Structure 1
Amino acid sequence: MLAARTLAVLGGLLAALATQGAVQDDLAARRADVHSVSAELTEDAPRIPPVSTYGYGDDKVWAKVRWVAADGSTHTGTTRVEPGTAMGTRVTGWTDHSGRLVLEPASPSEAWLQTALFSAAATVGAGAVVLVGGQLVRGRLDRRRLAEWDAQWEQVGPRWRKRMLG
């Protein structure tokens, strides 16, 4: 069990490091794939944000915008803006490499939080897998040891009883 616990800690740390690298690489790729554009609201944004079903959010609302792409073409879409923003207001939108509106990339603090949460989950998951595996191996070894003791007792038991009774 000491080996399983040691492997659980080491495996958890390695999983956390690997996850940290993967999450940071993914977030960096997302940041590199999007760029900001100046867009104009084509309608008044709703004044009241919808109730979040998850209990958290940034209280922004969806509103229709229009922007001009780098090639000079005009596009429309929806993006998240502050509630009550008036039609004609300039806002920042984010587009991907194909010119579609996407969500704003994660801020440094959001990226740190995502990295920490995914790394913690990977640590717990990897550690749990190793510990459960160790418990399964231990259970199998215990069953085998008890079977060996039973076999030995069948050989020694009758002789021991004769001495005790005789």
Structure 2
Amino acid sequence: MRGNERAKDRLWRWRSNPMRRREDIVEAWVVLAVWVVVAVGGTVAGLVTAHAADEVLSQQRAERRSVRAVLLTDVPHREVTVRAADDKALAKVRWTAPDGSTHTGRTLVNTGQKAGAGLTVWQDGRGTLTTPPPSPTGAAVEAGVLGTAAGLALTGATLAAGAVARWRLDQRRITAWDREWESVGPTWGHKTG
């Protein structure tokens, strides 16, 4: 088939055709709607999600502060055969908040440290221990991944809904063909004899 003929075959549902059924027109609109939602909705969902994630991560960077803390207990090395690069354990620490009040709490620290060792911990705007905020590069990557995932999720859901709608239309066409065949088929009988 040449390119022009292929284009006509793809658009046959839109042309006036005596063989065209109502289901064919509905299917053409379903396919068009699915691709519009995938193209526009997927892009919008991805951009909105990425922007929202970036705002949340920027807010975390703005409100989280590092403070100096003192380790209150020894943190021995774990008895494992393979050490991880970030071998950490929960330990009790004491720190002074920016307002001058002293706090104690538990946080993850590197193993192998002795009580009294100084370290840096992170606290949120309420003074609660938390994880370090993501770097600007890490936040951009995370926002991009979340935006892509949101766009792909919407695309997958839309394509699945479109496939179900087309399947239902096929079922209706098959049922209509069966009914028509039951009424026309017997008149086509060939008598021999």
Shorter-chain TM-score category? 0.7 to 0.9
Letter in 2 for 1:36: S
Once residues 147 and 74 of structure 2 are traced to their aligned partners in structure 1, the CA distance between those partners, rounded to angstroms, is: 41
- Matching residue within 71, 81, 88 for 1:41: 71
User: Higher relative CO (CA 8 A, sep ≥ 6), structure 1 or 2?
Assistant: 1
Deviation for aligned residue 1:57? 8.0
SS at match of 2:180: helix
TM-score for the superposition, normalised by structure 1: 0.79
Runs (4+) off by over 6 Å: none
- Matching residue within 105, 128, 138 for 1:110: 138
1:32 aligns with 2:62: yes
Q: Which moved more, 1:1-10 or 1:23-32?
A: 1-10
Q: Residue 31 of structure 2 contacts residue 162 of structure 2 at CA under 8 Å; is this kept in 1?
A: no
Task: Summarize the alignment of residues 16-165 of structure 1 with structure 2, pairs less than 5 Å apart.
Answer: 16-48=46-78, 58-161=86-189, 164-165=190-191
Unaligned runs of 5+ in 1: none
Specify whether residues 50 and 121 from structure 1 end up closer, same or farther in structure 2 by C-alpha distance, changes over 3 A only. farther
Q: Residue 49 of structure 1 contacts residue 61 of structure 1 at CA under 8 Å; is this kept in 2?
A: no
Specify whether residues 84 and 74 from structure 1 end up closer, same or farther in structure 2 by C-alpha distance, changes over 3 A only. same
Q: Which moved more, 1:8-17 or 1:144-153?
A: 8-17
| Count of residue correspondences | 160
Deviation for aligned residue 1:93? 1.1
Q: Residue 12 of structure 1 contacts residue 123 of structure 1 at CA under 8 Å; is this kept in 2?
A: yes
Once residues 150 and 79 of structure 1 are traced to their aligned partners in structure 2, the CA distance between those partners, rounded to angstroms, is: 70
Unaligned runs of 5+ in 2: 1-29
Offset from partner CA, 1:53-92 (integer Å, 9 cap, x none): xxx8832322221111222221111222222223222211
Specify whether residues 36 and 17 from structure 1 end up closer, same or farther in structure 2 by C-alpha distance, changes over 3 A only. same
SS at match of 1:165: coil
Deviation for aligned residue 1:26? 1.6
TM-score for the superposition, normalised by structure 2: 0.69
Specify whether residues 101 and 20 from structure 1 end up closer, same or farther in structure 2 by C-alpha distance, changes over 3 A only. same
